[in-house]
């Protein structure tokens, strides 16, 4: 067998992530690799840290990218803040809350669940009543933007309730960072993790995290060693810590960090609030298009996540066949439903660089034409003009 270079097809990525990577980020990734203790690299790391602080709206000293995907950022927060025997409240309204529970249990701690239906936001009243009944809980964990359902929960309110009961918060902001309002310091979030491949439009494989002073104190006061050597923040800090003599912990993914640096420079150039507004306005145009076509949104308007649109599948349509045709005939990727929503919804992402009118018109036109050719019960030909009208 002869093997040659791999040349991936050029797709438009409008699923739950990864999203389209900005060309400036791709070219940053191709710059020469230098040593991860090289002074030029260390300077880049310092800039990266302050760009992340901007994106997360925090002054937290411990704000770094974990060298692994969002799931590793999740695990970093859980293994460092929780010890065996602890009691943790986990709010679940989709797939990712379930993974939080799994993390808590693998540590040997107890997860007390606050459950809401898939497609609904985390209910602050339910959280409060669980905290009232369980005085020995010291951590509350929840997902800000549930990518499995397209729901944005009220992180500010949930955090303030956790604080009222003396709890620290762990927040999943993998899909919200760079796409929806997120203010770590103002809202009082203690530990937060994100990902690079959603609204930052960077390649997958890094997980920005941030920890408050209170969170760091809790880590310092641990009675047991962090169960993961690689994710133990006491050790990672020796490499990323300000002023600390950088000591070898693991080889940083040098070029991937160039990519993240460029992604954050792009975000800063646009302005954080402009990026949030862009996601919201484009979501409204996409919504008008889908509704004109006759497709319905899963989530109530007030809880919709602009960057992830969960829309119902028309009666009698083979949804996997539609996605297959979109990919093969249009080079367009959209997402399937996950877990309880498998076969019930499509998940259309409008993340970062992929969130623009050209993509919206392309996506609506392609879905319209595939569904029309399958004789699906939709209003053919209405979606694109409705989206254009919304944007005008
Ligand atoms: C994508 C995602 C993750 C996991 O990130 P990976 O980079 O795939 O490990 C976690 N939480 C949410 C809400 C996500 O959307």
CATH number of the domain residue 143 falls in: 3.40.640.10
Same domain, 243 and 186: yes
Tell me which of 269, 299, 328 is where a domain ends: 269
- Picking from 221, 239, 269, the residue at the C-terminal end of a domain is 269
Owner of token pair 């995907």 = 69
Average pLDDT (136-163) is 98
pLDDT in tens, 349-371: 999 999 999 999 999 999 999 99
| pLDDT score recorded for residue 243 | 60
Establish if 262 belongs to a structural domain: yes
What does the pLDDT average to over 325-351? 96
pLDDT of residue 293: 98
User: From the CB of 335, is ligand 1 less than 6 Å away?
Assistant: no
pLDDT digits 0-9 by tens, 50-93: 999 999 999 999 999 999 999 999 999 999 999 999 999 999 99
pLDDT of residue 340: 85
Is residue 220 one of the residues assigned to a domain?
Answer: yes
- In this predicted structure, which of 10-19, 53-62, 142-151, 247-256 has the lowest mean pLDDT? 247-256
280 lines ligand 1 (CB under 6 A): no
By alpha-carbon position, which residue is closest to atom 3 of ligand 1?
70
Do both 298 and 263 map to the same domain? no
Residues 121 and 37 in one domain: yes
pLDDT band for position 240 (50/70/90)?
Answer: confident
**Is ligand 1 within 6 A of the CB of residue 313?**
no
Question: Do 277 and 208 reside in the same domain of the chain?
Answer: no
291 ligand 1 Cβ < 6 A: no
Looking at the structure, do residues 35 and 164 belong to the same domain, yes or no?
yes
Atom of ligand 1 nearest to the CA of 204: 7
260 found inside a domain: yes
- Residue 172 near ligand 1, beta carbon < 6 Å: yes
314 and 235 both lie in a single domain: no
Q: Domain total for the chain?
A: 2
Per-residue pLDDT band at 242 (split at 50, 70, 90):
low
**94 CA closest ligand 1 atom index:** 13
Tell me which residue range forms the domain holding 350: 272-391
Boundary-marking domain end, from 248, 269, 290: 269
Task: Look up the pTM and report it.
Answer: 0.97
Mean predicted lDDT score pLDDT of the chain? 96
Quick: pLDDT tens for 170-222: 999 999 999 999 999 999 999 999 999 999 999 999 999 999 999 999 999 99
Q: Are residues 99 and 247 in the same domain?
A: yes
Q: Do 58 and 193 share a domain, yes or no?
A: yes
pLDDT one-digit tens code per residue, 35-46: 999 999 999 999
Does 359 contact ligand 1 (Cβ within 6 A)? no
State which ligand 1 atom lies nearest to the alpha carbon of 144: 13
Say if 331 falls within a structural domain.
yes
Our answer on whether the CB atom of 147 is closer than 6 Å to any ligand 1 atom is yes
CA–centroid distance, residue 374 to ligand 1 (Å) = 33
Q: Is residue 126 in a domain?
A: yes
Whether 197 and 316 share a structural domain: no
Q: Which of 16, 175, 199 to mutate to test the pocket of ligand 1 (most atoms within 8 A of CB)?
A: 175
Residues 298, 247 within the same domain: no
For 262-321, the pLDDT digits (tens) are 999 999 999 999 999 999 999 999 999 999 999 999 999 999 999 999 999 999 999 999
């Amino acid at each position: 067998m002869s093997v040659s270079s791999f040349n991936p097809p050029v797709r438009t990525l409008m699923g739950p992530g990864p999203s389209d990577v900005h060309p400036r980020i791709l070219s940053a990734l191709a710059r020469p690799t230098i040593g991860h203790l090289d002074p030029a690299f260390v300077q880049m790391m310092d800039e990266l840290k302050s760009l992340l602080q901007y994106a997360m709206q925090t002054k937290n000293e411990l704000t770094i990218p974990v060298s692994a995907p969002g799931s590793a950022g999740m695990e970093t927060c859980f293994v460092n803040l929780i010890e065996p025997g602890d009691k943790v409240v986990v709010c679940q309204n989709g797939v990712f809350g379930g993974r939080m529970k799994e993390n808590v249990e693998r540590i040997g701690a107890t997860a007390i669940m606050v459950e809401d239906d898939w497609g609904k936001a985390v209910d602050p009243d339910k959280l409060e009543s669980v905290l009232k009944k369980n005085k020995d809980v010291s951590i509350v964990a929840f997902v800000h933007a549930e990518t499995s359902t397209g729901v944005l929960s009220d992180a500010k309110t949930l955090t303030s309730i956790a604080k009222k009961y003396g709890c620290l918060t762990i927040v999943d902001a993998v899909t919200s960072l760079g796409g929806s309002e997120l203010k770590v310091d103002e809202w009082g979030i203690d530990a937060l993790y994100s990902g690079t491949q959603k609204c930052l439009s960077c390649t997958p494989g890094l997980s920005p995290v941030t920890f408050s002073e209170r969170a760091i104190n809790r880590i310092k006061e641990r009675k047991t060693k962090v169960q993961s050597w690689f994710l133990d923040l006491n050790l990672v800090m020796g490499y990323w810590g300000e002023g600390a003599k950088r000591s070898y912990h693991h080889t940083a993914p040098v070029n991937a960090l160039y990519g993240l640096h460029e992604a954050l420079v792009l975000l800063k150039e646009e302005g954080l609030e402009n990026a949030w507004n862009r996601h919201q306005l484009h979501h409204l145009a996409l919504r008008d298009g889908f509704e004109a076509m006759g497709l319905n949104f899963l989530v109530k308007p007030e809880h919709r996540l602009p960057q992830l649109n969960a829309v119902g599948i028309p009666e009698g349509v083979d949804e996997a066949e539609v996605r297959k045709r979109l990919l093969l005939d249009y080079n367009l990727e959209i997402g399937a439903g996950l877990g309880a929503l498998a076969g019930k919804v499509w998940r259309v992402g409008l993340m970062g660089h992929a969130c623009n009118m050209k993509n919206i018109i392309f996506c609506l036109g392609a879905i319209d034409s595939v569904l029309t050719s399958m004789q699906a019960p939709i209003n053919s030909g209405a979606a694109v003009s409705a989206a254009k009208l919304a944007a005008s």
